[in-house]
Amino acid sequence: MVEHALYIPAGLLVGVLVGLTGVGGGSLMTPILVMLFGQAPAVAVGTDLVFAATTKLAATASFGYSRKVDWRIVGRLALGSLPAAAAVLWCLMLTGAQAGVTDQLVERSLSIMLIVTAVGLLAQAPLRRLGLKAAALWLKFVDRWTLGITIAMGVLIGVAVTLTSVGAGALGVVGLLYLYPLRLTADRLVATDIAHALPLALIAGLGHASLGHLNLTVLAFLLLGSIPGVLIASRLAIRLPNAVVRRAIAVLLGGAGLRLLLVT
């Protein structure tokens, strides 16, 4: 019981970061579970996906009520991501009978996605500026292909999130910055990305749970910390500079990714 109680401050830390900055949730929880608490990679991913779906539910409801979500783009992404998530779960079910295969695949994929996420966090601001500068040329020549590219991006996100629980934020935001630089303002970009991540995390999380990759006790203790953390931090008058926090999280994720990559 005492050991399980240590999950509460971990959930609190992630909840506070999400409440203050809106970043860090899905990317931080899985490496924390694997590297600090020794959870099996597949169980860490499954638990984090259900954790992420739970915490994103309130955020999506809030954004939806304020009409910040571009549901048309969410639908395009979901056309690719949800079938891709189902396909990955099917493959995991087929390989689950081979001892260690699923954990090895998840751990290697996780290490790569953490490094990609770190790069995405560091490059988010310059990518947005580049996207806005190239908007006229991009829309002129590629607008007719935007639907197909968005669905393809959804496939990539669905595979990454189902394998690692990481990718919806980093890949989604970077991709949307390029595809819809004029249509999505900063707040609508975040809202649309979170709204798409909710059903993806829910389906992927339930799929992992059906494969036995879910620790309900750990999930409960994480939520005991994260829910108060999100509520308290979101009401604080002081906000940490997003750029500073992004850089700090990027360094942590990059280091964790390299460590996992070297030991797998």
Sign of the CA dihedral with 23 first, then 226, 73, and 92 last: positive
pLDDT digits 0-9 by tens, 243-261: 666 666 666 667 666 666 6
Q: What pLDDT was estimated at residue 133?
A: 63
What's the rounded mean pLDDT across residues 97-123? 73
User: What is d(CA 167, CA 54) in angstroms, rounded to the nearest whole number?
Assistant: 17
**35 vs 155, more confident:** 155
Q: Worst-scoring range by mean pLDDT, 53-62, 177-186, 217-226?
A: 53-62
Q: Has residue 148 got a pLDDT over 50? A: yes
CB 164 within 8 A of CB 30: yes
CB 101 within 8 A of CB 94: no
Q: How far is CA 82 from the centre of its chain?
A: 14
pLDDT band at 28 (very low <50, low <70, confident <90, very high): confident
pTM for the predicted model, two decimal places: 0.78
User: What is d(CA 30, CA 24) in angstroms, rounded to the nearest whole number?
Assistant: 11
User: What is d(CA 200, CA 23) in angstroms, rounded to the nearest whole number?
Assistant: 18
pLDDT band at 21 (very low <50, low <70, confident <90, very high): low
What is the extent of the structural domain holding 148?
2-263
pLDDT digits 0-9 by tens, 198-214: 889 889 999 999 988 89
State the total domains in the chain: 1
Q: What pLDDT was estimated at residue 237?
A: 45
Amino acid letter for position 93 = M
Among residues 197, 189, 191, the alpha carbon closest in space to that of 161 is found at: 197
Rounded to 5°, angle at Cα 190 from 113 and 139 = 90
What's the rounded mean pLDDT across residues 13-31? 70
Q: Has residue 86 got a pLDDT over 90? A: yes
Sign of the CA dihedral with 75 first, then 152, 103, and 37 last: negative
What's the rounded mean pLDDT across residues 210-222? 90
